Structure 1
Amino acid sequence: MTDQTITIEPPSLTPVVTVARADIRAIPSVEVGGETHWLGEHRDFRRHDALARFLPEHGRFSLAWVRLCDGERLDVHQHPTKSMILVCKGSVRLVGDLEESLGEGDVVCVPPGARHGFHTGPGEDFQGLSVQFEGAGLYENENAPRVRFAEVVSDSMAGLERLNDSRLRRFAEHPLFALFDSGRMHREPVLRDRFVSVLYVWSVFFQRMLYARQSVCTDPSLREIYADHLRDEFGHDRLLRDRHAVSANVYDPILEAAGNWFVMQMHSTDEAAKIVIVHMVVESSCHVFGERTRSAFQDGPAAETSYFDVHAEVDGDHRDIGRDHLRTLPPARFPQLSRTCEEAWDQLELVFDRMAALTRS
């Protein structure tokens, strides 16, 4: 057995120092790119002389007390260094690339470049410790913060509306509508029969999408809104089949895959994404579709309660369903919703590409 000797350093000439949190100068906001961004309460340890002297410069790391309360938010941002946030008291909502509610003792590890922010609700108080392990703290130099905030415009409801409007205008010029604008669909019964048979496939998928959404919705207010919508749309596939004499069974693997994409999103996305898919994208397209196609079905037995007239008249209201819910969401949600919007339009254009190709074949 060997004795272990513990060497005690002689007493330091520097006394023990305590620093109250309130004695560390706080900043409430920073200016980045000409815009002021709210931080809540940010107290970098190096803003206090005693702490700045105590913290080592070799292997430099940075510490800061942070606080948000009563609805305050730190908007989604990125920085070039990894960071750790410790929830010391209260609770807070992590938003950005990952969304999660956090409580006392939870630790958030943020890699370089990750999009993240924090939101508190009414009456909620979050107090935490922010740690960076490389170089200066994120807001140590108040005049040159080491952060980049997400663009407010692209992260907003208005930005999502603009994106959707842009894709809707593009959809309105889809080559399928040339068959109607030229009068061919009105003049050529064989072409018209092929078209309604192909359209019937998409109409069935549309119904299945609504059934799927209704069956898994757990939000009572949205479930009732969805139910009203479903009642308006119920049986429109049969209306198309019966009023417009659908006579052929169409199977196309691409059309099946694209149609099933919409159904599966009702099982795998949240309510905000479903509103974007069903109402902003599909119902907006249905309104344009009804307006652009109804003229080819204005005479004959199908003219009474035409499937196309119904969609031209009703879907204008359906496309606005759920917008109030989207407006309650934090800005951090909208980048992902914008991606969902783009994906839904891509899938819908694929549906119409196949309908056009199969109608012409």
Structure 2
Amino acid sequence: MNALQEIRQRNEEYMKNFSENRMVQLFKDGRTPEGLKEEIIQYGQVWSDTFQHVVTMRAACENDPAFRPAAEEHLAEEIGHNQLLQKLHSGPPKWDPVVAASSSWFVHQMQVLSSPERSALAHLVLEGAGTVALQAGSLSFPESEYFALHDEADEGHMEMGYAQLAAAPHVPAAQILEILEKGWKMVFELCNRIAQCAETAYSLRADDWQVGVGIKV
């Protein structure tokens, strides 16, 4: 097995594990209440907004001619997608310090990583996670333009990353595998936290409703 094959195999394993993430499972579960799904979207909006900064920062920092065209293409295709998610909830984004800090970590990595590492984090981790999460989300929001658009696009963006690494004159395999591990840990915890916040908020909303109708005191 060569380095690129190992990178692909490892990333596919991470994607499989990510399918067990709590947020993904809530999207897949047909019994998840509509109110809980809306809470997930409201907490997830912070990450969606920050992802715009991730792809912008990557394009701004990328000066390697072997990687810059894909970074610019990725940015052009992602611009404004967070506004489509905004249409799925009626309130403002819900802020949580862990979600905000975890999201900001990805922006910072685009400033400090090498070009191959940036590509792996953006295309293999984030688009890989997006492929899993958004396919699940399309089950909860079958009429959503946001989920339909990403369901089609994210796998292509992930393959773009593999193609970049394959074309690069040198792939630092150890560093790529390390950023895959770190990136997947971060995105797993980020999405778990979104689900945790959403479930807590929905539970409190249900308690408030029960108090209002005199069921619970």
Query: Normalising to structure 1: TM-score of the pair?
Result: 0.52
CA distance in 1, matches of 2:177, 2:66: 24
What is the CA-CA distance between 1:349 and the residue it aligns to? Answer: 0.5
What is the CA-CA distance between 1:283 and the residue it aligns to? Answer: 0.4
Larger radius of gyration: 1
Runs of 4+ off more than 6 Å? none
1:257 alignment counterpart: 101
Matched, 1:173 2:20: yes
Matched, 1:313 2:152: yes
2:209 alignment counterpart: none
Higher strand share: 1
Stretches of structure 1 that go unaligned for 5 or more consecutive residues are: 1-152
1:271 alignment counterpart: 115
CA distance in 1, matches of 2:28, 2:49: 26
RMSD of equivalent CA atoms: 1.7
Stretches of structure 2 that go unaligned for 5 or more consecutive residues are: 201-217
Matched, 1:346 2:185: yes
1:199 alignment counterpart: 44
CA distance in 2, matches of 1:193, 1:164: 30
CA distance in 2, matches of 1:246, 1:207: 21
1:235 alignment counterpart: 80
What is the CA-CA distance between 1:178 and the residue it aligns to? Answer: 2.5
What is the CA-CA distance between 1:246 and the residue it aligns to? Answer: 4.4
Higher helix share: 2
Matches for 1:1-361 after TM superposition, within 5 Å: 153=1, 156-185=3-32, 188-241=33-86, 243-298=87-142, 303=143, 306-327=145-166, 328-330=168-170, 333-361=172-200
One-letter amino acid of the structure 1 residue matched with residue 117 of structure 2:
A
One-letter amino acid of the structure 1 residue matched with residue 119 of structure 2:
I
CA distance in 2, matches of 1:173, 1:240: 23
CA distance in 1, matches of 2:7, 2:70: 22
CA distance in 2, matches of 1:260, 1:229: 19
Greater relative contact order structure (CA < 8 Å, 6+ sep): 2
CA distance in 2, matches of 1:314, 1:266: 21
CA distance in 2, matches of 1:329, 1:180: 40
CA distance in 1, matches of 2:137, 2:173: 33
What is the CA-CA distance between 1:223 and the residue it aligns to? Answer: 2.0
What is the CA-CA distance between 1:158 and the residue it aligns to? Answer: 1.1
Q: Check conservation: 2:14, 2:184, Cα contact below 8 A.
A: yes
Secondary structure class of the residue paired with 2:160: coil
Residue-by-residue CA offset, 1:39-67 (whole Å, 9 max, x unaligned): xxxxxxxxxxxxxxxxxxxxxxxxxxxxx
CA distance in 1, matches of 2:36, 2:199: 7
Q: Share of identical aligned residues, percent?
A: 25
One-letter amino acid of the structure 1 residue matched with residue 31 of structure 2:
R
Structure 1's 330 and 224: CA in aligned 2 closer, same or farther, altered over 3 A?
Answer: closer
1:103 alignment counterpart: none
What is the CA-CA distance between 1:329 and the residue it aligns to? Answer: 4.5
CA distance in 2, matches of 1:206, 1:260: 9
Q: Name the count of aligned residue pairs.
A: 199
